[in-house]
Structure 1
Amino acid sequence: MGFRPDGECDSSSFIRKIGPNPAAPLTASIFETVAATFLEFAQLCDALASTTKKLEKRAQIADWLKTLSVEDAARGSLYLAGQAFAETDPRVLNLGGAILSKALAEESGASEAAMHEAYRRHGDLGAAAADLLLRQAGKPVTLTLAQVEERFSQIASAKGPSAKLPVILELLRAATPLEAKYLIKLALGDMRTGVKQSLVEEAIAAAFGAEASAIRQATMLKGSLPEVVRLAAAGRLQEARMSLFHPLGFMLASPVDSVDEAVARFAVEVAAEATGNQLSVDEAGSSSKLDLSFIETEVAQSVLKEAQVEDKYDGIRAQLHCGDPEQPGRVALFSRSRDNMTAAFPELIEAFASLHLPVILDGEILAWDVANSRALPFSLLQKRIGRKKVTDEMREQTPIIFMAFDLLYLDGELMLERPLSARRKILEEFARNHTDSVRAGFREAHTARSQGSLFSEEIADGPSRLVLAPAIVLSSAEQLDQAYMDARNRGNEGVMIKSLASIYQPGRRGLAWLKLKRELATLDVVVTAAEFGHGRRAGILSDYTFAVRDGEQLRNVGKAYSGLTDSEIAELSQFFKDHTVEDFGYVRSVEPVLVLEVAFNNVTRSDRHASGFALRFPRILRIRQDKPVAEIDSLARVEEIYASQPELIRNEELSQ
């Protein structure tokens, strides 16, 4: 049961009745409310999770926000978006499943077996907590949004798990089971209510009588939902100004499988641009559904001249912020998932700290072959991911650069509305003016840091950490095909095709940017183990480890969980339950009888599997009911594919 439109609730939900005019914008003068309880928030989250209707979710959020003080509306909006702190706030909770599980076990008194069973039942630690803490169901409701904010602040400032644990326990002891569920979900950043930040922004607009576009613009500029709520409450959204050091949404590219498809799809986009009606992937249809036969070859060829092509690199997409005059020397790196990964790449921080011009660059973090000016395989970057401390040895072994391919903000001006052709010219000028200063900044910082190091001089005289991504204007499909082959020979994944007229649309995946990245190969493999999934796949065996033949043995080479329909996964889940060899709880070894055809992007060396190899980005293409296990691919075939990769050939040449 959930919220009713009048704001009342049934026995399983609770919401404070709203003020005398529910349609009025929220202001402190209209509503003099008591402090909002966290239980109200948790009940709303349960109601949101129970419906898939976007308009219903938005109405429920807006109705709740109208009942709150401005400060509680600010807190509630942030928490509904799944954030403990605003994006511009450098604090982090730094809580993982281990410490939260420890606190939950201590507070609930549950055994390890009971903890395991609850988690397996739900595939979610928060939902498991609600079950394990049922004995607390009758306790008084005392926890407020403001108290959660205060405790989160204490957790963020606490040093180490032992200092954080008492505060977590204090929260759990004050919480009802439903509140504990969403405290843990919020702490993990995994709400699973079907609510994205964009929907919260729309609800804020509805609650405050503002335009959704004005809320979105203010949020993009400020990077703080609480600040936007305060501005909306005061009717001052137009005063929002750009703040550095919070991630803007990344513009995304749509995949295509061939040059012909790329040309045809791009023709659709250019035609849409000409009428001012840019298409999203959903609007245009998937590659398998979009009818492109009406596009004449001559037309398709001509529109390519309105595009540029770049290599698609095998690195980490990143947004780099630097040059804030109020915080000299500060540099930040954000991933596509909006995570702060600054600490993992100190070389870039040292290099860009010398820049004093405020700028936001979009690009790729790459492991770099200095001698040949080429990107190295992604596998050399993997050891950096998630690290808070990067050793000198790691820095010395693998040089890191930032390959810039777009410029989003410069010296007080947001560039998103400018066409790519204009942004590219500004980026080229920026690179000309600052590449040497970035090199000098790194050299100075590295020399100061590495006094007496045997590697100091060699590394300090290395490349600039700022590299401009090469780009060429297209003229024909033949040129695009050649560009793809050249990119692959350089060890890169493929090419990007970008409309010169395209504006930068944060978070949007349209046809203005396309990525041509053909699959390396496919393999027929056999499933050897199955794991239970998470969220809506909780209780379903949906993640499959698979192997190839090595003589009479089977050697695992990867794990895949995408590519099948829900009905196929449900059938396979029951199949693997019936064919379980050994049940380890969350994962089961299964009889090696089911053959899958999988596609992948690359093969890498790996210690994770006994085969010594791992497939990168494997995807299930189909279930091969027609193929016996005796006919699956061999480890020799995996080695052959590995040896055929351009990046391997290059690395072998470098090592000679």
Structure 2
Amino acid sequence: MLFARVVATSAEVGATRSRKAKTAALAAVLADAAPGEVAPVTAWLAGFMRQGRTGIGWRTLSGVEVSPADEPSLSVPDVEAALDRLAALAGSGTGVGARRSAELSALLGAATADEGRFLVRLLGGELRQGALEGLMVEAVAAAAEVPADVVRRAFMLSGQLPETAWTALGSEDPVAALEAVGLEVMRPVRPMLASPGDSLEDTLADLGSEIVVEHKLDGARIQVHRRGDEVRVWSRTLHEITDAVPEIVALTRELPVDTVVLDGETLAVAEDGRPRAFQESMKGLGNGAMQPWYFDCLHRDGRDLVDEPLETRRRELAEIVGDRVIPSVLRPTPERAAEAIREALAAGQEGSMVKALDSTYTAGRRGKAWQKIKPSHTFDLVVLACEWGSGRRRGWLSNIHLGARTDDGFVMVGKTFKGMTDETLRWQTETFPQYETSRDASTVYLRPEIVVEIELDGVQTSTRYPGGVALRFARVVRYRDDKPLAETDTLDTLRALRR
């Protein structure tokens, strides 16, 4: 398959607002891809490279001056091989920069203008918005003519979308092949997420009385695997952090199991036992100061539990980790549930989780089996740009432009400079230029990679911003190094709060 077909499909998807049309376009190119092409095509159209980081920044990309090819000639295998070579040159050293520039020049010189623009955005990280992940799952299902839930489950258990697509499209019996994908100890599972709850009353109306109310810890999500004496730990984004948390590794080796997969949080704790701020928990990774708490068990001694109800998984969890289960109240009355939420806030936590006891473990934020209750509205948005400050903030990057996720990427929904400390301003000024795509006299425009948690009082309809909404009294809570772009909040979520 010519690489130009992938680039044209990306443009076609970006040109329509119809989810059905997007899915059809993606499915068509996947169906036509050869078996060896499915995985890279899936990755590129979802906005990322299978090779991960290549060490190529915008300075390197902008320094390449080559004339584009007149006609498309690059194939999908050609481009994937070139990306493999570039990834092998990641890092620094004598001659590495020159070889990387030469390899990049050869690739871009063989690309047409449209292909070159796509490659620059792919290499520069500008396509890495994750917004197409859900669409790609549906497209894989359509191309393979299998139910989307079967693809979704295999993706959850494998953690890899390109490999899931290859399994679906490269098998004579795709349903059987996808259903054969199981949980593997030492291979991370995509995490289940909670949906925002409008209020405790609404959440109880959704879920009924067969629930558990847990503290929502202001920590870092962890997934812990053990097999014998081997222990590995992954972050929310499935990046391995084992070496950074030796205390968790040591505690896990003491558990009364041979194999286990646990889902939980780790956080830094002050001398009085209260949790430290989220940023301190993130900084604590690697200094031996972290304490783990768990809320789910996905596997125990050869038995997978993802399809068991939460009540069963919690029972197994309690037998394994004892008092390391996150504080919770089982089957509370409405009054006791409200009290449990007050207790969580009084303990310094950011709110509570309300979970249906009959819910199975399902990756992502699908349905409302898990809901989070917080005292105010908070959303995870993406920084699209930042304006230089004035007055006391002159010389600092201050007012951030906020973007919400859509199927096509991110759309601006507001600005804010509220809630920023001098340390925040200093960090923004030092960090944001690393993500710069362009600037003018007042604003630095950024690749959509930086996630920020925003607290706000509400949302109102507005024509001021492209998203058609405006955020009321938006203020910065924290930057979320742990939150992938695919898990940021959507424009539809914000619109649901409009007054």
Distance, in Å, in 2 between the alignment partners of 1:366 and 1:424 is: 21
Distance 1:539 1:502, change over 3 A: closer
Q: Does 1:479 align with 2:336?
A: yes
- Determine if contact 1:542/1:561 at 8 Å carries over to the other structure: no
Specify the structure having the higher radius of gyration (Cα). Answer: 1
1:199 Cα offset (Å): 2.3
SS at match of 1:402: strand
Distance 1:338 1:380, change over 3 A: same
Identity of aligned residues (%): 26
Match of 1:310 in 2: 214
Q: Among 278, 281, 294, which residue is 1:378 paired with?
A: 278
Equivalent runs, 1:83-232 vs 2, <5 Å: 83-85=48-50, 92-95=52-55, 99-108=56-65, 135-136=67-68, 138=70, 140-161=71-92, 163=96, 165-166=100-101, 167-191=103-127, 196-232=132-168
1:409 Cα offset (Å): 2.7
Distance 1:252 1:566, change over 3 A: farther
Distance, in Å, in 2 between the alignment partners of 1:107 and 1:492 is: 49
Match of 1:331 in 2: 232
1:423 Cα offset (Å): 0.6
1:599 Cα offset (Å): 5.8
Match of 2:201 in 1: 263
Superposed CA RMSD:
4.1
1:530 Cα offset (Å): 4.1
Distance 1:269 1:72, change over 3 A: same
Match of 1:544 in 2: 416
Distance 1:341 1:542, change over 3 A: farther
Q: Does 1:428 align with 2:314?
A: no
- Determine if contact 1:487/1:495 at 8 Å carries over to the other structure: yes
Q: Does 1:358 align with 2:259?
A: yes
Distance, in Å, in 1 between the alignment partners of 2:140 and 2:377 is: 46
Q: Describe the superposition over 1:63-87 as per-residue Cα deviations: whole angstroms up to 9, x where unpaired.
A: 22232211112321232223422xx
Distance, in Å, in 2 between the alignment partners of 1:531 and 1:600 is: 10
Distance, in Å, in 1 between the alignment partners of 2:111 and 2:240 is: 30
1:179 Cα offset (Å): 1.9
TM-score by length of structure 1 reads 0.55
1:339 Cα offset (Å): 4.5
Match of 2:444 in 1: none
Match of 2:473 in 1: 597
1:107 Cα offset (Å): 1.0
Unaligned runs of 5+ in 1: 1-35, 86-90, 109-132, 271-302, 436-466, 522-526, 549-554, 574-594, 604-616, 622-656
Equivalent runs, 1:443-458 vs 2, <5 Å: none
Distance 1:414 1:81, change over 3 A: farther
Distance, in Å, in 2 between the alignment partners of 1:418 and 1:190 is: 39
Q: Does 1:502 align with 2:322?
A: no
SS at match of 1:103: helix
Distance, in Å, in 2 between the alignment partners of 1:264 and 1:78 is: 38
Distance 1:38 1:561, change over 3 A: farther
> What amino acid does structure 1 have at the position aligned with 2:36?
E
Distance 1:193 1:503, change over 3 A: closer
- Determine if contact 2:455/2:477 at 8 Å carries over to the other structure: no
Unaligned runs of 5+ in 2: 379-388, 391-397, 429-451, 480-488, 495-499
Distance 1:61 1:481, change over 3 A: closer
Distance, in Å, in 2 between the alignment partners of 1:572 and 1:71 is: 42
Match of 2:439 in 1: none
Q: Among 453, 464, 472, which residue is 1:568 paired with?
A: 464
Q: Describe the superposition over 1:241-300 as per-residue Cα deviations: whole angstroms up to 9, x where unpaired.
A: 33345543333333346xxx4134323333xxxxxxxxxxxxxxxxxxxxxxxxxxxxxx
Number of positions where the alignment pairs a residue of Structure 1 with one of Structure 2: 420
Q: Describe the superposition over 1:432-473 as per-residue Cα deviations: whole angstroms up to 9, x where unpaired.
A: 4xx9xxxxxxxxxxxxxxxxxxxxxxxxxxxxxxx3212222
Q: Describe the superposition over 1:401-426 as per-residue Cα deviations: whole angstroms up to 9, x where unpaired.
A: 22111112334433222111111001
SS at match of 2:194: strand
TM-score by length of structure 2 reads 0.71
> What amino acid does structure 1 have at the position aligned with 2:348?
G
SS at match of 1:383: helix
- Determine if contact 1:544/1:561 at 8 Å carries over to the other structure: no
SS at match of 1:314: coil
Equivalent runs, 1:484-633 vs 2, <5 Å: 484-519=341-376, 530-531=399-400, 542-546=414-418, 563=459, 565=461, 567-569=463-465, 597-598=473-474
> What amino acid does structure 2 have at the position aligned with 1:265?
T
- Determine if contact 1:547/1:557 at 8 Å carries over to the other structure: no
